[in-house]
Amino acid sequence: MASIKFDWSEHYETGIPEIDEQHKQLFSIGRTIEQMSMKGGENVTDREILGLVNSLRDYTGFHFYSEEKLMEEIRYEDIQLHKKHHAQMLYFVSNYDIRKFRKNFDATIREILDIISDQVVHHILGDDKKFAAAYKTYQKMHKHMEEKVKADRMENEESYGFPIKEFNSSIAYLMRDQSASGHCVIVNKEKKAKYLAMTALERDSFHADMIRVAKAVKKVFKPDAIDYMYFEDVDEHLLFHIIPKYQTAEDFGKPPVWNKGKELTEDEYKDLVEKIGSEIK
């Protein structure tokens, strides 16, 4: 009986709220068709039939489009087959000859009900549930990755200071300690990266980021020299300190001395971050 097929139950839930809502809407269209079937042909106007067929076509089109967008978003491996099934169903609802209703209302409405209930229900239980499982796995992994990246960023900000710019493989920070005015650090995004293990391409890209930041620092602070430092045994990340040196400072001509506890106001940090950031070319 078609009436059972259009009763929504948890059994049909995919677990993607947006999709479940749309499926419920399709079920509701199915129920309207059932009610129409019970009224009998003589009590249904052409206008009602046309309205129903149009809403079924429009809503199905919208729903399939929504699902396909999600599939593209996660690069779903079975997207082509799923899309093909959508296209077949859409073809059916888009090309239904509504004149058939007038010729034999009962048989036509039963046919449309059977085909739709059969296709919709089977499609939801088969293709859609399979896709939903892939979508949820992707979301879980993605969320986990996002949380990890966020935690790493927060940790970096605590260790170094204020983010200036994010590059493909690194992030530049203005050090909280400004004993050397303009002291920045460029941190590789890959936490476990080791200098000697980098490929030539990775090294080039990292160095290029560092040079872009150093040039901006030079422009903003006009130091007399810049020291570049990395301490593999100390630093948790692969990074380079960019330390401007000034002839007027005690450590000029010697290894740089920092962490003397010179801190700025939040507004001053913000201002410097903007200045350096705008000079990164």
- Tokens 């048989």: give the residue: 107
Least distance (Å) between residue 177 CB and Fe ion? 56
Least distance (Å) between residue 3 CB and Fe ion? 21
From the list 41-49, 60-68, 210-218, 246-254, the region that binds Fe ion by CB under 5 A is 60-68
Taking the least distance from each CB to Fe ion, the nearer of 85 and 262 is 85
Least distance (Å) between residue 124 CB and Fe ion? 6
Which residue's CB atom is positioned nearest to Fe ion? 128
Fill in the per-residue mask, 119 to 138: x = in contact with Fe ion (CB under 5 A), - = not in contact. ---------x----------
**Dihedral (Cα; 24, 26, 30, 33), 10-degree rounding:** 130
From the list 42-50, 62-70, 140-148, 208-216, the region that binds Fe ion by CB under 5 A is 62-70
Q: Which of 34, 67, 156, 238 binds Fe ion (CB under 5 A)?
A: 67
- Would you say 182 and 223 are in contact if contact means Cβ atoms under 8 Å apart? yes
Taking the least distance from each CB to Fe ion, the nearer of 17 and 253 is 17
Least distance (Å) between residue 131 CB and Fe ion? 7
**Could you tell me which of 252, 255, 257, 245 has the C-alpha nearest to residue 217?**
245
Taking the least distance from each CB to Fe ion, the nearer of 34 and 67 is 67
Measured between alpha carbons, how far is residue 79 from residues 8, 135, 174, 196, 232 in Å? 26, 12, 45, 41, 46
Least distance (Å) between residue 60 CB and Fe ion? 9
Distance (Å, whole) CA 175 – CA 243:
10
Taking the least distance from each CB to Fe ion, the nearer of 132 and 185 is 132
Cβ-count burial of 100 within 10 angstroms (0-12 exposed, 13-18 middle, 19+ buried)?
middle
Enclosing H/E stretch for 172: strand 170-175
Please give the DSSP secondary-structure letter assigned to residue 95: S
Residue 188: strand pairing partners:
170
Residue 241: strand pairing partners:
185, 229
Least distance (Å) between residue 47 CB and Fe ion? 28
**Number of residues located near Fe ion, criterion CB under 5 A:** 2
Distance (Å, whole) CA 235 – CA 132:
43
Taking the least distance from each CB to Fe ion, the nearer of 109 and 132 is 132
Does residue 58 sit in helix, strand or coil?
Answer: helix
Q: Is 20 in the site for Fe ion (CB under 5 A)?
A: no
From the list 61-69, 103-111, 152-160, 250-258, the region that binds Fe ion by CB under 5 A is 61-69
φ and ψ of 275, to 5 deg: -65, -50
Query: For binding to Fe ion (CB under 5 A), which residues are involved?
Result: 67, 128
